[in-house]
Chain A
Amino acid sequence: QKEVEQNSGPLSVPEGAIASLNCTYSDRGSQSFFWYRQYSGKSPELIMSIYSNGDKEDGRFTAQLNKASQYVSLLIRDSQPSDSATYLCAVTSNTDKLIFGTGTRLQVFP
């Protein structure tokens, strides 16, 4: 059974701080890695995609992938209260279906 694991949280950070969200996956053959943001009662919204080892930056967001450790993370710099949401890690293996983790709830307090 291919699994994606995330700490459910909540992760509480003060406004302006860096939030660090982590995810591990079980299938060593996983190919594509995505971070989605989901506000309560809403649909997943794509934040970042990453395909190769290393860092990928987009604005305040940085995704980090380490395939040897089967680990992917998301850093959010200068966290804002509007970043408060559940962050979903999703992975694909040999097919394009997304395998989601349970998500980490992030709370950014003023």
Chain B
Amino acid sequence: EPEVTQTPSHQVTQMGQEVILRCVPISNHLYFYWYRQILGQKVEFLVSFYNNEISEKSEIFDDQFSVERPDGSNFTLKIRSTKLEDSAMYFCASQTGHNQPQHFGDGTRLSIL
């Protein structure tokens, strides 16, 4: 069964450094998402992406965050200058179309020191 794949599985970074989290969505999916889950808390929406542009973003997704789909397969989340509070699991998800279920990747655990 097709899967959403995310790399790396774990990223450790010093505060203030830039990180790029990578995702390969399922190939025929058109809508892409990033969510995060701080340890012990609920899964929170960050951003949605469709037709090569951001369709919605949350209050969390400030100027330090950006997303890109640089080629036909990868979907990346960049955090420009990481803070301690960015430590969380980051999940990429994709869906075929409006209102369809979203399928999640295994996540990247981001640890900021």
The answer to the question of B103 belonging to the interface, with a C-beta cut-off of 8 Å to chain A, is: yes
Within 8 A of B (CB), among A56-100: 88, 90, 92, 95-100
- B44: nearest residue on chain A (CB-CB)? A100
Kindly supply a per-residue 1/0 record for chain A positions 20-45, scoring 1 wherever the CB is within 8 Å of any chain B CB and 0 otherwise. 00000000000110101000001111
Q: Is the CB of A44 within 8 A of B33?
A: no
- B103: nearest residue on chain A (CB-CB)? A46
A93 to chain B, nearest CB (A): 11
Give the size category of B's interface with A: 20 to 34
Q: Is the CB of B91 within 8 A of A96?
A: no
- B105: nearest residue on chain A (CB-CB)? A43
Partner of B99, one of A90, A92, A100: A92
Kindly supply a per-residue 1/0 record for chain B positions 21-40, scoring 1 wherever the CB is within 8 Å of any chain A CB and 0 otherwise. 00000000001010100000
A86 to chain B, nearest CB (A): 10
Within 8 A of A (CB), among B32-89: 33, 35, 41-45, 48, 55-56, 58, 89
Q: Is the CB of A97 within 8 A of B45?
A: yes
**Within 8 Å CB of B102, what residues of A?**
34, 46, 96, 98
Residues of chain B having any CB pair with chain A under 8 Å: 31, 33, 35, 41-45, 48, 55-56, 58, 89, 91, 93, 95, 98-99, 101-107
A32-B99, A46-B102 provided; 4 other pairs, C-beta below 8 A?
A: A45-B104, A46-B104, A97-B33, A102-B42
Residues of chain A having any CB pair with chain B under 8 Å: 31-32, 34, 36, 42-46, 49, 51, 88, 90, 92, 95-103
